[in-house]
Structure 1
Amino acid sequence: MATRTNLDLDTLRTLVVAHDLGGLAQAADRLGRTPSAISLQMKRLQDDLGTVLFRKRGRGLVLTEAGEVALTYARRILAMHDELLDTIQGGSLAGNIRIGCPQDFASFLPSVLSQFATLYPRMQVELLIEGNAALAEAIEKSRIDLAVVIGQEHRSAAQTVGQLDLVWIASSTFVPPQGQPLPLAVLGPQCAFRKCAIQHLEAIGMPYRIAASSPSLDGLQAALLGGLGITARTSLNLSEGLMFAASLYGLPLLGSLPVSLHRNAHLIGDAADRMATLLVEALKFLLAPRSKSEIPRKRHNGLAVVAAAGIAMHKPRSRVR
């Protein structure tokens, strides 16, 4: 029986790191090796697999079709390898890890925490549910270790994971007042959703007023259900009785906001890496494109509804601030 080739796990990990960072030079810098050592690893991997994994594109290299296959398997092999180590070694690892999350994503934490607790039963987890700007600041001041953040992608600790589509949300019984400014229900002044809504309304010259303000999502949804106004946010975790659409009542499209994972620069260790991985995987699943069946619970006739409600639509005008 012929002897089979055993692939080197460290070489597979280098392949993944090089791909994720965008090149062999970047991988060398991250892994603390010379570019020639990284190139030698990739050459050895091609020899072991008996195929070409890279091809030139401009001054750089990109994966061939075989390279893409190898990358997919490398991720799976490394995931199983790391999970085995976590399971065997994690049971004796003690310590604490501090994570933060905005209210919008709090519902996805139980599954993440359950998986983490299975791997690291002696680790203590501290949770902070806070606004996005406050979470990013807490990371920079080392008050927490990891944070899921909406917006704030310009921060040095941010790793963008995906995009969160924004929608307009209101009670199913809400009707915009005729000939009056659009009533908004919002969170505090630093809220990225609040800023986005106001920016888009001002861009089309639509008058508005802050009809209700709350420091919490529960308070905001209570205001919406009470018919006090309309808001801009994600469609995640909405209460029964609320409807949403990208252009509810013909209001302007809001686009999306980036969702990122922020990590304390001083955070190291297998448990921290595993928590970061679990958070990223859960976020990617949550942010995956939605099916058409999840589009608005109540449909409206676009601009016709706006006209019937008496909301003025104007061309954009400049404003002095």
Structure 2
Amino acid sequence: MRLPAFDLDVLRTFVTGVELDSFAKAADRLGRSTSAVSAQLKKLEDVVGAPVLARSGRGLVLTPLGELLLSHARRLLSLNDEVFAHLHGHKAHGTLRLGVQEDFGEHLLRDVLQRFTRVYPHINLEVRVGRSAELLPMIEGARLDVALTWDTGVSTPWATRLGQAPMTWIGSQDRHFIATRDEPLPLVLFEPPCVLRSAAIQALDAAGIAWRIALTSPSVAGLWAAVGAGLGVTLRTRVGLPAHLRVMDELPAMAQLGYVLHRASEQGSPAVECLAHMTAQALAAV
């Protein structure tokens, strides 16, 4: 018996709609009508044999089967795109500029850069690791082709929200802090503007916990060093969390923080699109 085959165009529509959290936006991104996208989703569910999306209020959410399909679909598309790019990538030359929020630098760059240079060995890469406040103006000024940042509430014309991570209080393994009126909680934070700095202060104020700024740093490495030295606590995510630090559950529970992929133009070169796709794939495993 011949097994049914997945249509990669249909899978791409499905994955794009989920990543954009809107199939109307997916239709616009992929150059299709909304009715064509609806027909593709119906075709996908016919192949799967069960619903992959369910209504929730005014929107759609993945069913358990849809969540499983999403993971497999991303891998299929990644393999398809990598094979296609590899067959053509050896002909491409030029320079591509990537910006990465510092939290993701060590965790993400090794995998993405290794994969990309195998496909595009003659493309020169310029990588800028920094804070969102530094990277977003570079995207807007076309000084970067692609940038991965935290969702700071500042949008760019061609941005895609890829996912989210819980904000987490982080402290030293060896020192515990109890905030009192006479001894406010010491904080180790980025210099403003910083979305995590603002979230930390707002949460502590709302909980009635006294605080003070013990140290500010322009880099994540500086934050980790200060927290490890016992100077105070910080608010980050678990992305890139050093093993010698601990998550502090005794402080106020925090919300999720989204991460966003920004492009300098609506449709970049094949190399730019390949790099953006590889970045999204790497983050799916975070």
What is the TM-score with the length of structure 2 in the denominator? Answer: 0.78
- Shift of the 31–282 alpha-carbon distance from structure 1 to 2, 3 Å rule, reads closer
The 3 A distance-change label for structure 1 pair 171 and 77 is: closer
For residue 272 of structure 1, what is the aligned residue in structure 2? 272
Structure label with greater radius of gyration: 1
AA aligned opposite 1:183 = P
Tell whether the 8 Å contact from 2:19 to 2:160 is kept in structure 1 after alignment: no
User: What's the offset of the Cα at 1:237?
Assistant: 2.9
Residue 206 to residue 122, structure 1, CA distance change in 2 (3 Å): same
* 1:198 equivalent in structure 2: 201
Worse-superposed segment, 89-98 or 133-142: 133-142
Partner of 1:223: 226
Change over 3 Å in CA distance of 1:16–1:261 after alignment to 2: closer
Residues 88-128 of structure 1: CA deviation (Å, up to 9, x unaligned)? 11011111111111221111211110000000000111111
Count the aligned residue pairs.
Answer: 279
Q: Measure the CA separation in 1 of the matches of 2:11 and 2:141.
A: 35
**For structure 1, which runs of at least 5 residues remain unmatched after alignment?**
287-321
The worse-fitting range, judged by mean Cα deviation, of 65-74 and 14-23 is: 65-74
Q: Does the 8 Å CA contact 1:152/1:158 hold for their aligned counterparts?
A: no
- Alignment partners' CA distance in 2, 1:174 and 1:72: 40
Q: Deviations for 1:159-203, whole angstroms, at most 9, x for unmatched residues?
A: 111111122122222243663111111111112221111111111
Determine the structure 1 residue equivalent to 2:137.
137
Cα separation, 2, equivalents of 1:285 and 1:269: 25
Match of 1:127 in 2: 127
Cα distance change, pair 85–224 in 1 and its aligned pair in 2 (3 A): same
| Cα shift readout 1:113-158 (whole Å, capped 9, x = no counterpart) | 0000000000111111111122122212211111111122440333
Q: Which amino acid aligns with 1:236?
A: V
Query: 2:285 is paired with a residue of what secondary structure?
Result: helix
Amino acid of the structure 2 residue aligned with 1:235:
R
Q: Is the 2:167–2:256 Cα contact (8 Å) retained in structure 1?
A: yes
Deviation at residue 6 of structure 1 after TM alignment? 8.9
Q: CA 1:205–1:92 in 2, change beyond 3 Å: closer, same or farther?
A: same
User: Which has the higher relative contact order, 1 or 2, with Cα contacts under 8 A spaced 6 or more apart?
Assistant: 2
Flag the 1:35–1:210 CA change in 2: closer, same or farther, 3 A: closer
Distance 2:61 2:244 in 1: 50
The aligned residue for residue 174 of structure 2 is: 173
1:81-160 → structure 2 map (5 Å cutoff) = 81-107=80-106, 108-156=108-156, 157-160=158-161
SS across alignment from 1:110: helix
Cα distance change of structure 1 residues 86 and 244 upon mapping to structure 2, 3 Å threshold: same
Deviation string, structure 1 residues 29-81 (Cα, Å, up to 9, x no partner): 44445667x379859968x97x8999997999999999999988876654443
| Residue aligning to 1:291 | none
Q: Which amino acid aligns with 1:204?
A: A
| SS of corresponding position for 2:186 | strand
Does the aligned pair in 1 maintain the 2:78–2:278 contact within 8 Å?
Answer: no
- Mapped partners of 2:63, 2:246: distance in 1: 46
Partners of 2:79 and 2:125 in 1: how far apart? 24
SS of aligned partner of 1:92: coil
Q: 1:121 to 1:201 in 2, by over 3 A?
A: same
Residues 151 and 260 of structure 1 are in contact (CA less than 8 Å); yes or no, is this contact kept in structure 2? yes
Task: Decide which moves more: 110-119 or 127-136.
Answer: 127-136
- After superposition, the Cα gap between the structure-2 partners of 1:163 and 1:75, relative to the gap in structure 1 and judged at 3 Å, is closer
TM-score of the superposed pair, with normalisation by structure 1: 0.70
Of 99-108 and 262-271, deviating more is 262-271
Unaligned regions of 5+ residues in structure 2, if any?
Answer: none
Contact 1:52 1:67 in 2 (8 A): no
- Counterpart-to-counterpart distance in 2, 1:192 and 1:123: 34
Q: Say yes or no: does 1:243 pair with 2:246.
A: yes
Structure 2: distance between partners of 1:60 and 1:220: 39
Measure the CA separation in 1 of the matches of 2:64 and 2:228.
Answer: 52
